[in-house]
Amino acid sequence: MPGRRTVGGVPDERTADSPRATATGPEVWVTERFWPGCTLAEVAAACAALRRSCTSLTGGTTVDLLGATLFPDDEALVTRYAGPRSAVVAVHELAHVPYDRLSRALEM
C-alpha cells in the first residue's frame, strides 16, 4: 500500500483513531537539558530536587516525575512528567534545575 508507515522496517498497522496511537490519561511532558561536563552526583542531586519540588507544589496542582534518563555520551538529561505544563515549569523553577526544551509527549 503506497504511503504505508513503517516502524523499524515493520508495517505500522495503527490508525489515527487507534487507542494505542492516542494520548490517554494526564498530559505527559518531557524536558531536555544539555549539560556538558555534568557528573553523576550533580544529576542525582538535580533529580532529587525535582522529586522534592513535585511534592512541594501548592494550589492543588499536581505533577508526577515519571522518570529521568541521562545520556552520558550526549551530555543530556531527559525527564518525563505527568501533569499540566505549568506545573512542570513550576517544578523546575522551584528546584532551580534549568532545561533547554519542554515538549508535550504522547505515550504510544
d(CA 51, CA 72): 21
∠ at Cα 12 (9, 16), nearest 5°?
A: 150
pLDDT in tens, 31-84: 999 999 999 999 999 999 999 999 988 888 889 999 999 999 999 999 999 999
Domains of the chain and any CATH numbers: 25-105 (3.30.70.3090)
Q: What's the confidence (pLDDT) of residue 20?
A: 37
Q: Which residue bears the cell 494526564?
A: 26
**What is the mean predicted confidence (pLDDT) over 18-30?**
63
Question: Which residues lie below 8 Å from residue 50, measured CB to CB, with a gap of 6+?
Answer: 65, 68, 79, 91, 92, 95, 97
- Residue 25 reports pLDDT greater than 90: no
Q: What's the confidence (pLDDT) of residue 68?
A: 97
Q: Is the dihedral of CA 71, 38, 106, 3 positive or negative?
A: negative
Global model pTM greater than 0.85: no
CA distances from 39 to 46, 47, 82 (A): 11, 12, 26
